[in-house]
Structure 1
Amino acid sequence: MKIRLKTFAAVAALLVLTITLIACGIKSANPNASTIIRVGTKDFTENLIVGELYALALEDAGYQVKRVSNIAGSVIHTSLVNNEIDLYPEYTGTGLLTILKMNLMTNPDEVYKTVKDEYKKRFQVTWLNYSQANDGAGLVIRTDVSKKLGITTISDLQKHASELRFASQGEVDQREDGIPALEKVYGKLNWKSSKVYDNSLKYEVLKNNEGDVAPAYTTEGQLVNIDQFTLLEDDKHVWPPYNLAPVIRDNVLNANSGIAEAINKVSTKLDTKTVTALNAKVDVEKKDYEDVAKEFYKSIK
């Protein structure tokens, strides 16, 4: 009996040792496993997709991730500086004009350098590398009208404005960086008619031939339908860039050296065309944004 008890005790001790060694091995292999990173996102398709891409990249690097989704754009910056989230996808133009309330700039590198320096100084927040995806202001025209009148740029549009029906959102007519900014450079846009529609209806308005031109954001998913909709070139570069980039609290970044590398790899794969296509999968094809992000992340690993 004593021999059996000794044998059992030895086996138990060996089992405990084995479990301990395995646990130590796991901990050694995943030094980030105990760190939880809170990834926030704004409450619209593109930000949800990109935030999910950041989350997947961090999980791939061994971090635990808590997703804090659908935060209103008006409060997400405050959530970051108040330590309610650790990082989120932001836009350089938003940082410059909305958060910092600085003068409009149109050079992407200058905008990025400005927001990077000012956020560090004012908020102890770092902008990681910005992507080539630019979700800025634009104007979209029905493709049949574009072809008929030879309109591919805003300069072309200005010459033909009196022949075109503008499907406005109201706000864009008044904002300093909206139509007023265009008219200062391109000249007055004397529309044939201008009627205000809800932003969510604008592509239906164009498709149903109730309007010819509408305000747009340059990565909207419906823009993949080039047979129906043409995004006009801002050929005099009036509107500011809104390049996608992660913003992260300095203390989190400084304590976790692998975060920047993991997320910057995602940013290098995002350009305007790619993000537009991802948005289309959700907004046009009605796929789940998490599935879309997961599929794309697998393709870039």
Structure 2
Amino acid sequence: MDFWERRIYYLQLLAEHLLLSLGSLLAVTFLGISLGIFVFYSSKSRKIILPLINFLYTIPSIAMFGLLIPLVGIGLKNALIVLIIYGLLPIVRSTYSGLKEVPAQLVEAAQGLGSTKFQVFRNIYFPLALPSILSGLRITVVMIVALTGLAALIGAGGLGQAIFRGLNTMNTELIVTGSLGISLFAILGDQWLGQFERDESLLRVISKNGTKRQKNRIIFPTVIVFMFSIAALFYLNPLSSNKSKTIVVASKPTSEQFILGEIISQTIENNTDIKVIRKFGIGGGTTNIHPAMLSKDLDVYVEYTGTAWLNVLKKDLPQKQLINFEELNKTYENQFKLKWLGLLGFNNTYGLAISKSDAEKQNILSYSELAVKSGDFTFGAEFDFFERSDAFPGLKKTYPFQFKNLEEMDINLRYKAFEEGKINAVDVFTTDAQIKNLNLKVLKDDKNYFPNYEAGIVIRQEILEKHPAVEKLLLQLQGNISTEKMQELNYQVEIENKSPAEVAKNFINNLRN
């Protein structure tokens, strides 16, 4: 799918990125300059505020997004708070430093002429500190535009969504377009504020004596920025939709989840007048999506029985690893007011894989046989595989793996690492398209460690009460996606570079026929 065919999608991401960046910048400018002035005049507060801002700045931004989820949920509110926090340091610092560096003799002369404290600030401190303040703003705008890209991980939209979707679906076009868009935004924002900083006659621009030409140099690009922002606001029109006629569909950050999210969304859109809001590719998966479901930020998504049982309910696996779906669904209904709308028909459980050539050379067909020769292998997996109780920690207790090296990486990069030879053993999901593409041998779990991870649609009961027709629609998907079919759909996205929306549309059309 080329750029032109995705133009509406990119336009929406541009509008979201612009509004989120500009809104954060305006808030940071007001708060940052105000705090900078405050700490300049208050030595006591300076000892608290500046170290506090420094400390917050040392927390990795991606961690800050995650830390705020239990407090404010996912989405716009979370993103704005993080962007404002990270934008404060350079502007507070530059404001304070600019005021501090004003020559004392100028201040004393103004006071000697009878100027009030406010007049001294307005006529001496602020004009002379302005270049430093603007320099801090230029740093801030670039930082905010870049950090807004990460906001896509918590469902806040923006151009970062294209980057993460590209990583998730192995689509270079999406990655390049999202990256170039963010870079362009940062450059234009820097140039816009740089016009203020470069204009040495800025003080005359804001005074009565400024010439028309000088004013136009600054006012014209500013008007353009706000015109585009207003256009973006009208385009997104966030206040127009009736929330009672809206359903928010979420997905985890994998190709499979993008496809399933589209199947759910298009099924609802094609058969009802309900507006569907897509919040796809949410970082952290179940860890962040489940709390957002409980806080009503999200309404429906696809979950897996093994993940729900072990990581949400935190229950021990029953005998023979067989999860009772009826018990699972009943617990979800009673404890969370969430309902499982049956199972889709495929089991996307964990697996371990090596190349078919290595399997043949070393005669490795099972986990136990891999454990014996694990010293010859470098094992790579996503971060949460090494953390989840149902993954590597428990797996190592069952099978005595002693890998030569362990490599932790993003879930969407592990196959790339395998292809490049950086790892030669990898965790897989049984519906992954890359199993076929990389000619991998999925080994036998001979001690039956991994439970089934059967996919099913989880939805808030409140949504079903508001829209009874949705339950009937989504139940039609029950049992209609086999493991082989899901692997085929993933292959179309990851290898053939089709969009999840296109693949979902074709699947729905075929299902009707």
Report the TM-score, using the length of structure 1 for normalisation.
0.77
Aligned to 2:257: 47
| 1:216 pairs with one of 428, 443, 448 | 428
Q: Tell me, in whole angstroms, the C-alpha distance in 1 between the residues paired with 2:381 and 2:292.
A: 32
CA gap of 1:167–1:126, structure 2 versus 1, over 3 A, is closer
> Displacement, 1:194?
1.1
Name the aligned partner's letter for residue 240 of structure 1.
Answer: P
Name the aligned partner's letter for residue 158 of structure 1.
Answer: A
> Displacement, 1:119?
0.9
Residue 167 (1) aligns with residue 376 (2)? no
Q: Tell me, in whole angstroms, the C-alpha distance in 1 between the residues paired with 2:396 and 2:408.
A: 21
| 1:196 pairs with one of 397, 402, 407 | 407
Q: Tell me, in whole angstroms, the C-alpha distance in 2 between the residues paired with 1:258 and 1:198.
A: 41
State how 1:51-70 maps to structure 2 within 5 Å: 51-70=261-280
Aligned to 1:118: 331
Name the aligned partner's letter for residue 41 of structure 1.
Answer: A
**Greater radius of gyration (CA):** 2
| 1:232 pairs with one of 443, 448, 471 | 443
Report the TM-score, using the length of structure 2 for normalisation.
0.47
Q: Tell me, in whole angstroms, the C-alpha distance in 2 between the residues paired with 1:87 and 1:122.
A: 17
Cα RMSD over matched residues? 2.7
Greater share of helix residues, 1 or 2? Answer: 2
Q: Tell me, in whole angstroms, the C-alpha distance in 1 between the residues paired with 2:275 and 2:318.
A: 35
Aligned to 1:28: none
| 1:273 pairs with one of 464, 475, 484 | 484
> Displacement, 1:38?
0.8
Secondary structure at the counterpart of residue 346 of structure 2: coil
Aligned to 1:20: none
Aligned to 1:14: none
CA gap of 1:198–1:147, structure 2 versus 1, over 3 A, is same
Secondary structure at the counterpart of residue 75 of structure 1: helix
| Bigger RCO (CA 8 Å, 6+ sep) | 1
CA contact (8 A) 1:37 1:86 kept: no
| 2:310 pairs with one of 93, 97, 116 | 97
Aligned to 2:507: 296
Q: Deviations over 1:14-48 (max 9, x none)?
A: xxxxxxxxxxxxxxxxxxxxx83514122422222
CA gap of 1:241–1:63, structure 2 versus 1, over 3 A, is farther
Q: Deviations over 1:214-242 (max 9, x none)?
A: 122332221232x6212223232211322
> Displacement, 1:131?
2.5
Name the aligned partner's letter for residue 156 of structure 1.
Answer: E
Q: Tell me, in whole angstroms, the C-alpha distance in 2 between the residues paired with 1:164 and 1:84.
A: 43
Greater share of strand residues, 1 or 2? Answer: 1
Aligned to 1:143: 356
Q: Deviations over 1:57-81 (max 9, x none)?
A: 2234335241232244333223323
CA contact (8 A) 1:48 1:69 kept: no
Name the aligned partner's letter for residue 159 of structure 1.
Answer: V
> Displacement, 1:86?
2.8
Q: Tell me, in whole angstroms, the C-alpha distance in 2 between the residues paired with 1:294 and 1:190.
A: 45
Q: Tell me, in whole angstroms, the C-alpha distance in 1 between the residues paired with 2:425 and 2:289.
A: 32
Q: Tell me, in whole angstroms, the C-alpha distance in 2 between the residues paired with 1:190 and 1:78.
A: 36
Residue 241 (1) aligns with residue 452 (2)? yes
> Displacement, 1:296?
1.4
Residue 158 (1) aligns with residue 368 (2)? no
CA contact (8 A) 1:58 1:262 kept: yes
CA contact (8 A) 2:322 2:452 kept: no
Q: Tell me, in whole angstroms, the C-alpha distance in 1 between the residues paired with 2:250 and 2:383.
A: 26
Q: Deviations over 1:149-198 (max 9, x none)?
A: 23232233223323333235465345422233223333x1123x114142
Residue 181 (1) aligns with residue 391 (2)? no
Residue 130 (1) aligns with residue 343 (2)? yes
CA gap of 1:286–1:64, structure 2 versus 1, over 3 A, is same
Aligned to 2:157: none
Q: Tell me, in whole angstroms, the C-alpha distance in 2 between the residues paired with 1:216 and 1:247.
A: 24
Q: Tell me, in whole angstroms, the C-alpha distance in 2 between the residues paired with 1:249 and 1:171.
A: 26
Q: Tell me, in whole angstroms, the C-alpha distance in 2 between the residues paired with 1:246 and 1:115.
A: 13
Residue 80 (1) aligns with residue 293 (2)? yes
Identical residues among aligned pairs (%): 25
> Displacement, 1:82?
2.6
Q: Which shifted more, 78-87 or 271-280?
A: 78-87
Q: Tell me, in whole angstroms, the C-alpha distance in 2 between the residues paired with 1:130 and 1:168.
A: 27
Secondary structure at the counterpart of residue 348 of structure 2: coil
Secondary structure at the counterpart of residue 266 of structure 1: coil
Q: Deviations over 1:75-128 (max 9, x none)?
A: 322332333333221222222222222223476763423321111111221111
> Displacement, 1:297?
1.3
- List alignment gaps of at least 5 residues for structure 2: 1-243
Secondary structure at the counterpart of residue 352 of structure 2: strand
